[in-house]
Structure 1
Amino acid sequence: MENKIDKKSTISAADLKRLSAEAEQEAAPSGFTIMAREFIADKPALIALIIILAFFIFVTVASFFIDVPKMMETNILAYYNEPFTKDFFLGADSAGRSIAKQLIVGSRDSIGIALGLTVISSTFGICWGMVSGYFGGTADLVMQRVYDFMMIIPMLMTIIVIVTIIPNYNAITLTLILSCFYWMGTSRLIRSRTLAETQKDYVQASKAFGTSNLKIIFREIMPNISSLIIVDTTLSFAENMGVETGLSYLGFGLPMGTPSLGTLIANANDPENITHYWWTWLPAALEIIILCLSISYVGQVLRRTLNASQRRGKQEK
């Protein structure tokens, strides 16, 4: 009798182990697994991710080994040296300064400004839009009038005037100035989505249970619009890289003597550089195009990943 009981218990344990293994295999994949599958399925996005990571790591590490003041010194003997010559992998400009070194340091500055601008402007824009859309009524009316006033201001001209009247400024100052103006697009986008989410049943149920407004906004509504936030933030980062480049191209970006992608591209203003000294501007232009396209591809994958995770969460509920 005891042997039969032991045999049954052994079979039950084996069945339990087998069922557990099957359950783990059939379990819904994690968000990281979904993202990895999306990148593997989308080859251009995978290549774009590799390009972005490799480039960011290379620029960050390489910039530590470059003496910027010495790099920016004039070297008449290296006047317009061609690419792939000694000490000038990408050639030299009209002052005999290495294009490759300027490209590395300028990329670091552009990435740093774009990252800081994206974090500050997106954070403020998301909070402004969610609060405006959630409360509605008088609060929404007042906040949208502030938005309308900011939209009336000629943004580019105002930035140029502010940069011109400030005697001494640097990358941090420029980032803060730009952040005052580049939150508005994110704010309007998030507000419109929050208005729609506020009317849904889960928000009304939370209000009925007495959940605080801040918890509803940031714990319930925000996760449900996370895919929109991620995509908008990613595209904003790509756009913000071009903001500093454009201002530097016009001569109102980083201070004079500071390497910048915009300053390198501005070399194309000289017709002689376009026809004879293409290496003074073409590498910077190609870098901006490739990085912006790569970031856009990665943003699309992140959006699909978050949408899939949200669908999975709804099915589990």
Structure 2
Amino acid sequence: MTSHVDAETLALSAEGLLQDNEENAVQQHVADCATCAAQQSELADVPQVLAEVSAPPLPDSVSERLDDALRAEADNRSPYGDTGDAGAGGGTAASGGAGSEPPGDVVPMRRRFGSSHRWINYLAVAAAAVVVVGGGSAIVRNVVLGPEFGGQFSDTGGAAGSTAHDTARDYQPLVVESGTVYTAARLDDQAATVLDESDPTAADSPGGSESAPEGAAGGAPGDRSDAPPDVSSCVESAADSSGDRPLLIDLAEYSSDGAEGTAWVMYYGSRPGGRAQDTYDVVVFAPECGSEGTAAHEDAVLERTTVKAP
């Protein structure tokens, strides 16, 4: 039965990583095999696709380790995979004994070391590393350098605080859209109304009320979920200085001098955790909070107050 050159070998061929004798064997097979020829053509397009992606350069240390690992594997490869031990199974493939496979156009490329999936993974990491260098650099470090090395560093290159990471990962505030148009003059009353409707410490928070004060509207029910990415950036920017994260986030609007605009109103509890609170610090942030170019999250604070818990 005719076999085909495996995808790993074709991928290495497309990257020019095979030894000359193996490359010749692959090309001889591909010349007579439409299936392998089509797959090789598709794999050959990958470098061009990656070249068209705008991305920062791969860190030299990671690039060198990838190159060394790929070269080492290429040096260990054999054109015909396992040859067997002399005297075992009636002889080797070269001697034509029992268990040998007939030469010809078929090129069985079985790995001498481990599964072929291992090197498909290496190539995938190499490709992904070109595209994902910023936030994904920790993933590249862990896969290529090993968890012992990669796990010692955060995405910014410093020591990773597992406790802080776990806290950020588990953090899920109550996110609501109350429809409130907050103002400086009515901030205390409006915040109290929102808390009455959506108490973040209650087991089940209602989503609105039949009557609301001027400037407030009954919104959709609150949902304990991850905040939108831009809001999360604001939360983390504020947490950098205080370490606190809001229990409730209202995606609303703020009116000042007759102009209305989007605002994120965050309610910080006076007591840690999800316990019943005494008071809430209410901070109204402009959408610029957490954005690049903003000197500090304080620059995006529109208004703040403290109200009693419901």
Q: TM class, shorter-chain normalised?
A: under 0.3
Answer 1 or 2: higher relative contact order, Cα 8 Å, separation at least 6. 1
Instruction: Give TM-score, length-normalised by structure 2.
Output: 0.22
Max radius of gyration: which structure?
2
Greater helix proportion: 1
Instruction: Give TM-score, length-normalised by structure 1.
Output: 0.22
Greater strand proportion: 2
